[in-house]
Structure 1
C-alpha cells in the first residue's frame, strides 16, 4: 500500500474516532442549557438533577474529545507537509479564531460549569452553561469554515509556484463566508445536536424499560423528544440546501453521490442501489428524475454528470461515495419517522406504554453518529482527487519524507491507544448511567415513586 493511501487511511481513522465526541458535547451542551433554564425558571429540583447528571456525562465526552483531537494537528505536519504549507495561512487564521472566539469562551466557563454548582448562584451557573455551549458551537464553526474553504475556496490568492506555492488570504470574511460554509455549518450543527439529544433519549428510555427513575425519565424523555423532532425536520431542510450548494459548486461530487454519469441529462434519485463504475450503471430502487426535481423542481431538468469531467478529475470511489451518502440520507429520514411516531403516541397519551418503541430509542443512539460519520466520508471522498478543490491534488499534498512503514507503525499504535480510550469511555459512561441521576446523599430530592421503582426492580 502506497504512502498516499496509508496517510489518508490514518487521518480518516483518527478524525472519525475524534468525531464521535465533539457532536455529543455540542448536543449535550444544548440539553444542559434547556434543563438548567427550566430549573432557574421553575425552581423545580428535578430539572437541576437532570442538569447535574448530564453535566457529568458532558465532562466525560469533552475530555475524551480534547485528547483525541490533539493527534490530528501533528498529522498535518508529519504526513501532509505540502498540504500544511499550502493552506497554512488559511487554516492558521481559522484555528486562531477558534482559539480566541471559541475555545477561550468554552474553557473560561468550563470550571464554573463543573465545579460551581454550590459556589455560585443558579443564574450565574446557567450563564456558564450557556457560555460552554456557545463555545462548543463556535468551535465547530471555525473547524467547518476551514474545511469548507477546501471544498469551495474563496478570498485568497496563490503565492509562489510548484512545490513552493501556497494560498494567502486576501479577504478574511470572504474566506469565512465561502460558498459552502453556511450550509455546511448549519448541517453539522444539527447533526451534532441530534447526536446529544438521542443520547439523552436512549438513556432515559433505558431507565423506563428497566423501571428505574421513572418520573424524572418521563420528563427528560418528553423534553428531548420535542427537541429531536424539531432538529430532525430541520436537518432535512439543511440537507436539501446543502445539496443545492454542492450541485452549484461541486457538480462532480453530486454526480458521484447519485451515480449520475451522463454529461447533461435528467438525473434519477436513488433510494438504494449499487454503482458499477466499469459499466457506469446503477442498479437499485429509484425515483425517475428525482434528483432533477430536487434541484430545479422539474423532472426533466438536465443535471451535470461525471462524464462531463476528465477522468482524472472524477472521484475514484464513486460507489463508496454513493453508499455513504445514501446511508446518511436514510438515517436522516429514519430519525424523522421515529420522532414523529413517538410524538403521535405522546399525543394519544400512550407514549410510555409502547415498550418496543422505547427499546428502539435505546439503540437509536447510534443512528446520528453513523449519519455524521457517513456524511463526512461522502463529503471528503466526493471531493477527491482534490484536497483543495480545483487547486491542490491529494496526490501532491502528502509528505515526501515519510515512508509507508512509518505510517503503518503509527497507525497501529493509534489503533491500540484509541481502542483503549474507547473502552475506557464506554466503561465510565456505563458506570454513570448505572449510577443514575441521583447522588447517594440526594435521597431527599427523589420523587415519592422511589419505593415503587425499587419494587419493580426486585420483581
Structure 2
C-alpha cells in the first residue's frame, strides 16, 4: 500500500483512539465542578459522595488520555518530517502555551483533587477541582488553535523554498484567533461537555433501572441532564457558525459535505443520501435550496461547487466526508430530542418512571463519542488534499525515508497496545461503576446521613 495512505491511516487511528479520552475528561470535569459546588452550597453529603465517585472515573480517563497523546508527538517526527519542519514554529508556540497554561495548571491542582479530601478545606478542594477543569479546557484551546491554523492559516509568513520551506509566526494573536479557531473551539468544548454529561447520564440511568443508589442517582441524573440539554441546543448555534466559516474559508470542504458539484448554483440540503462521485450526483432525501438558505438566507443563492476547483484540489473521498458530516448532524439532532423529551418528563414529574427512556440513556454514552469522531473525520478529510490549507499538500508532507513495512509494523503494534489499553480502561471503569459511589450494604442503616 502507498506510504502516504498508510501514514494517514496510522495517524487517524492513533488520534481517533486518543480523542476518546480528552472530551470525557473535559465533560466530567464540568460535572465535578457543579457537584462539588452544590456540596459547598448545601452541605448535603450526597453531593460529596457523587463528586468523589466521579473523581475516580476522571482520574482513569485523564491517565489514559495523557498516555495515548504522547504517541502522536513522536509520529510527527517519524512519519511527517516535512510537515513538522513546515509547521514547527507555529506548533511550537501553541504547544508551549499548552504546556504553560494547561498542563501547568492541571499538574498544580491534580494532586489536591485526587488526594486532598479531608486534608484541605472544602473551598480549597473546590478551587483545585476548578483548576483541573480549567486546565483541561486550556489544553483543548491550544490543540484546536494549532489544528485550526492548518485549516485557515493566519499571522505568519513563509521562509525558504521547496522542502526547506517553513511557516514562521509574525503575529501570535492573529495565529491564535485565526478565522476558524474560535468557532471550532466552542464546538469542540460543547462536544466534550456532551461526552461527559452522557457518560454520567448513562451510569446513573443504569443505577436507576437496577434500583441501586436511587436517591443520589436522581440528583446526578438531573445535573447531567441540564448540562446535556444546554449544550446539545447550543451546538446548533456553534455548528451553524462554523459551517458559515467553512463556506467562506474552505468552500471545497462545504461542497463535499453536501455533495454539491455545480460550479455556482443553489445547493440542496440533504437529510441523508449517497454521493456518486463519477456521476456527480447525490441520491437521497433533500430540502431543495436548503444549504443556500442556511448560508445566505436565500433558497436561490448560488453556492460554490466542487467543479469550481481543479480535481487535484478537491477532497478525494467525497462520499466519506458527506456521510461523516451527516452522521454528526443526525446524532446531534437525536441528542437534542432525547434531552428535551427527558426535560419535559422531568417537568411533568415522570422522568424516573419512564423505564424505556432510562434504558435508552443507559446506552446513550456512545452517541457523543461517535459524533465527536465523525465530526473530526469530516473536518480533516474535507481539508484534503491539503495538510496546511492552500500551502502544503498532504502528499508532500510525509517522511520520505519511512517505508510502508515500517508503518505497517508500527500500526499493528499500536493496534495491539491500544486494544489492551482500551480493555484495561473499560475493565477499570466497569469495576468502579459496579462498586458504586458507596457501600450498598450500609444504605439501609446509614442512609439518613445523605439527607
TM above 0.5: yes
Q: Unmatched 5+ residue regions in structure 1?
A: 451-459
Q: 1:215 Cα shift?
A: 0.5
The answer to whether residue 329 in structure 2 is matched with residue 329 in structure 1 is yes
What is the DSSP-based 3-state SS (H/G/I as helix, E as strand, rest coil) of the residue aligned with 1:265? strand
Q: 1:347 Cα shift?
A: 1.1
Q: 1:304 Cα shift?
A: 0.4
Number of the residue aligned with 1:55: 55
Number of the residue aligned with 1:121: 121
Q: 1:447 Cα shift?
A: 2.7
CA distance in structure 1 between the partners assigned to 2:326 and 2:415 by the alignment: 28
Q: Contact 2:204–2:217 (CA<8 Å) still a contact in 1?
A: yes
CA distance in structure 1 between the partners assigned to 2:107 and 2:441 by the alignment: 29
Matches within 5 A, 1:258-407: 258-407=258-407
CA distance in structure 1 between the partners assigned to 2:39 and 2:439 by the alignment: 18
Number of the residue aligned with 1:152: 152
Taking a change above 3 Å as real, the CA distance of residues 42 and 280 of structure 1, as seen in their structure-2 partners, is: same
Taking a change above 3 Å as real, the CA distance of residues 402 and 35 of structure 1, as seen in their structure-2 partners, is: same
Q: Contact 2:383–2:389 (CA<8 Å) still a contact in 1?
A: yes
Q: Contact 2:193–2:227 (CA<8 Å) still a contact in 1?
A: no
Taking a change above 3 Å as real, the CA distance of residues 394 and 214 of structure 1, as seen in their structure-2 partners, is: same
Report the more deviating stretch, 440-449 or 336-345. Answer: 440-449
Q: 1:437 Cα shift?
A: 0.6
Number of the residue aligned with 1:207: 207
Number of the residue aligned with 2:225: 225
Q: 1:170 Cα shift?
A: 0.3
What is the DSSP-based 3-state SS (H/G/I as helix, E as strand, rest coil) of the residue aligned with 2:282? strand
Number of the residue aligned with 1:161: 161
Q: Contact 1:438–1:446 (CA<8 Å) still a contact in 2?
A: no
The answer to whether residue 14 in structure 2 is matched with residue 14 in structure 1 is yes
What is the DSSP-based 3-state SS (H/G/I as helix, E as strand, rest coil) of the residue aligned with 1:285? strand
What is the DSSP-based 3-state SS (H/G/I as helix, E as strand, rest coil) of the residue aligned with 1:298? coil
TM-score by length of 1: 0.97
Deviations 1:157-177 (A, max 9, x none): 000000100000000000000
Q: 1:222 Cα shift?
A: 1.1
Q: Contact 2:45–2:449 (CA<8 Å) still a contact in 1?
A: no
Q: Contact 2:106–2:132 (CA<8 Å) still a contact in 1?
A: yes
CA distance in structure 2 between the partners assigned to 1:422 and 1:174 by the alignment: 39
CA distance in structure 2 between the partners assigned to 1:360 and 1:446 by the alignment: 32
CA distance in structure 2 between the partners assigned to 1:439 and 1:30 by the alignment: 26
CA distance in structure 2 between the partners assigned to 1:128 and 1:434 by the alignment: 27
Matches within 5 A, 1:244-263: 244-263=244-263
CA distance in structure 1 between the partners assigned to 2:84 and 2:247 by the alignment: 28
CA distance in structure 2 between the partners assigned to 1:398 and 1:55 by the alignment: 40
CA distance in structure 1 between the partners assigned to 2:300 and 2:54 by the alignment: 50
Aligned residues: 450
Q: Unmatched 5+ residue regions in structure 2?
A: none
Q: 1:146 Cα shift?
A: 0.1
Taking a change above 3 Å as real, the CA distance of residues 407 and 36 of structure 1, as seen in their structure-2 partners, is: same
Q: Contact 1:215–1:449 (CA<8 Å) still a contact in 2?
A: no
TM-score by length of 2: 0.98
CA distance in structure 1 between the partners assigned to 2:58 and 2:109 by the alignment: 14
Supply the RMSD in Å over aligned alpha carbons.
Answer: 1.3
Q: 1:118 Cα shift?
A: 1.4
Matches within 5 A, 1:54-133: 54-133=54-133
Matches within 5 A, 1:406-421: 406-421=406-421
Q: 1:445 Cα shift?
A: 9.4
Q: Contact 1:45–1:445 (CA<8 Å) still a contact in 2?
A: no
Q: 1:440 Cα shift?
A: 7.7
Q: 1:442 Cα shift?
A: 7.5
